[in-house]
């Protein structure tokens, strides 16, 4: 089996928690911090750490605003993040296809 | 090994992406509010003796506006409490799915309420048509909501069709009772069914936000 696709997988996205965050954001234009935390059953500290890593990689952008007098923090995939996520998915599909075709 | 891991990862990604698109705010408070309003409106409508074709249609159109406003208030309050956007992507999808059938219901209501020559018998068709349309709206929205909503919508469609059959049969045979009695039909459908589902959700939606 050709190990190349596996080696090309983005290490930032490859972590389970960050992959989950990227998956949620890929299906929504934006998501609030609490929405992601509750959907993924993560602790505040855990999800904050993952989001910081994704922000540092330039994959996720953060918007802070006020809604009804309360602070609202939302996250969205950047175009770079979307490209990286698409590439990651394509590589996973390649790995599956390679095994099916017996390469 | 790598292939099985990759397949599992793709499955997890797909599940998470689907979950992200699902409307996940608590529905019990909304159902209880709409149900309570529907039942109260039925009692008030009957006590006030609103039995004219125009009065009946206009009255329930006004009630539906209050119900929609109340439901939006509950959604907004939950979103603000949870620190989430009110007009989130899943909320938009649900609203878009509800809109066509709601619009047709509104048009049916206006067409019934507008002419002064309308016979009470003709207006007896309105509650079952509204029930069917509401069921269709819920069924469409159910693709972006928990599965129970589609079943709930299906319930409205079945009840609406059954009522259509009864109205159809009776309109040619025994005739229909006074239109003021149609308030009870509206109360049973839009009040009773919502209340029953709201109570059910109240017990099963534990862990979600409360309004």
pLDDT digits (tens, 9 = 90+) for A68-94: 778 888 999 999 999 999 999 999 888
- Is B134 part of any domain? yes
Range of the domain at A68: 4-94
φ, ψ of residue A60 to 5 degrees: the values are -130, 135
CB contact under 8 A, A72 and B7: no
- Is B131 part of any domain? yes
- Picking from B44, B153, B23, B24, the residue whose alpha carbon sits closest to that of residue B93 is B23
Q: Compute the nearest-CA separation of B140 from chain A (Å).
A: 19
**Total domain count for chain B?**
1
Q: Answer whether residue B85 shows pLDDT above 60.
A: yes
What tens digit of pLDDT does each residue of B13-72 get?
888 888 777 887 888 999 999 999 999 999 999 999 888 888 999 999 999 999 999 999
Q: How far apart are CA B128 and CA B165, in angstroms?
A: 9
- Predicted pLDDT at B209: 47
- Predicted pLDDT at B174: 65
What tens digit of pLDDT does each residue of A44-58 get?
999 999 999 999 999
Chain B contact probe: residue of A17, A67, A84, A98 with most B CBs at under 10 A: A67
- What CATH number is associated with residue A69? 1.10.10.10
Chain A contact probe: residue of B9, B77, B90 with most A CBs at under 10 A: B9
**Helical H segments across chain A, by residue range:** 4-8, 11-14, 16-26, 33-40, 44-56, 79-101
**Total domain count for chain A?**
1
Q: Answer whether residue A2 shows pLDDT above 80.
A: no
Of B20, B76, B80, the CB nearest to A31: B20
Task: Tell me which residue has tokens 């529907």.
Answer: B38
- Predicted pLDDT at B211: 37
- Is A73 part of any domain? yes
- Is A55 part of any domain? yes
Q: Answer whether residue B210 shows pLDDT above 50.
A: no
**A5-9, B46-50, B103-107: lowest mean pLDDT where?**
A5-9
Q: Answer whether residue A103 shows pLDDT above 70.
A: no
Identify the contact set of chain A against chain B, taking CB-CB distances under 8 A: 1, 3, 6, 19-20, 23-35, 38-40, 67-68, 70-74, 89, 92-93, 95-96, 98-100
- Is A17 part of any domain? yes
Of A28, A68, A95, the CB nearest to B6: A95
Q: Compute the nearest-CA separation of B98 from chain A (Å).
A: 20
- Predicted pLDDT at B19: 79
- Is B107 part of any domain? yes
Q: How far apart are CA A45 and CA A20, in angstroms?
A: 16
What tens digit of pLDDT does each residue of B120-175 get?
777 888 999 999 999 999 999 999 888 889 999 999 999 999 999 988 887 766 66
- Picking from B150, B170, B161, the residue whose alpha carbon sits closest to that of residue B189 is B161
Range of the domain at B111: 25-204
- Is A86 part of any domain? yes
- Predicted pLDDT at B172: 65
- Predicted pLDDT at A102: 67
CA distances from B182 to A82, A86, B40 (A): 54, 56, 14
| Entry pTM | 0.77
- Is B46 part of any domain? yes
């Amino acid at each position: 089996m050709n190990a190349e696709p596996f080696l090309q997988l983005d290490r930032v996205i490859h972590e389970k928690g960050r992959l989950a965050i990227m998956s949620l954001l890929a299906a929504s234009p934006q998501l609030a911090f609490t929405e992601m935390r509750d959907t993924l059953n993560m602790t505040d500290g855990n999800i904050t750490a993952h989001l910081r890593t994704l922000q540092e990689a330039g994959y996720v952008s953060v918007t802070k605003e006020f809604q009804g007098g309360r602070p609202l923090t939302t996250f969205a995939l950047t175009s770079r993040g979307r490209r990286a996520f698409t590439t990651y998915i394509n590589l996973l599909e390649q790995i599956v296809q390679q095994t099916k075709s017996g390469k | 090994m790598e292939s099985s891991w990759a397949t599992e990862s793709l499955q997890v990604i797909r599940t998470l992406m689907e979950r992200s698109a699902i409307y996940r705010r608590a529905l019990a408070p909304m159902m209880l509010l709409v149900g309570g309003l529907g039942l109260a409106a039925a009692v008030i409508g009957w006590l006030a003796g609103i039995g004219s074709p125009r009065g009946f249609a206009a009255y329930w159109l006004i009630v539906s506006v209050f119900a929609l406003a109340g439901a939006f208030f509950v959604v907004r309050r939950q979103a603000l409490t949870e620190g989430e956007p009110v007009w989130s992507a899943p909320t938009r999808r649900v609203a878009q799915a509800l809109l066509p059938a709601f619009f047709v219901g509104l048009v049916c209501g206006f067409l019934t309420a507008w002419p002064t020559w309308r016979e009470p018998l003709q207006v007896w068709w309105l509650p079952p048509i509204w029930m069917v349309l509401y069921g269709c709206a819920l069924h469409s929205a159910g693709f972006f909501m928990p599965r129970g909503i589609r079943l709930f919508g299906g319930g409205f469609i079945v009840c609406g069709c059954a009522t259509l059959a009864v109205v159809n049969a009776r309109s040619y045979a025994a005739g229909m009772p006074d239109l003021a009695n149609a308030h009870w039909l509206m109360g049973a459908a839009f009040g009773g069914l919502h209340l029953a589902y709201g109570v059910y959700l109240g017990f099963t939606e534990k862990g979600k936000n409360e309004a």
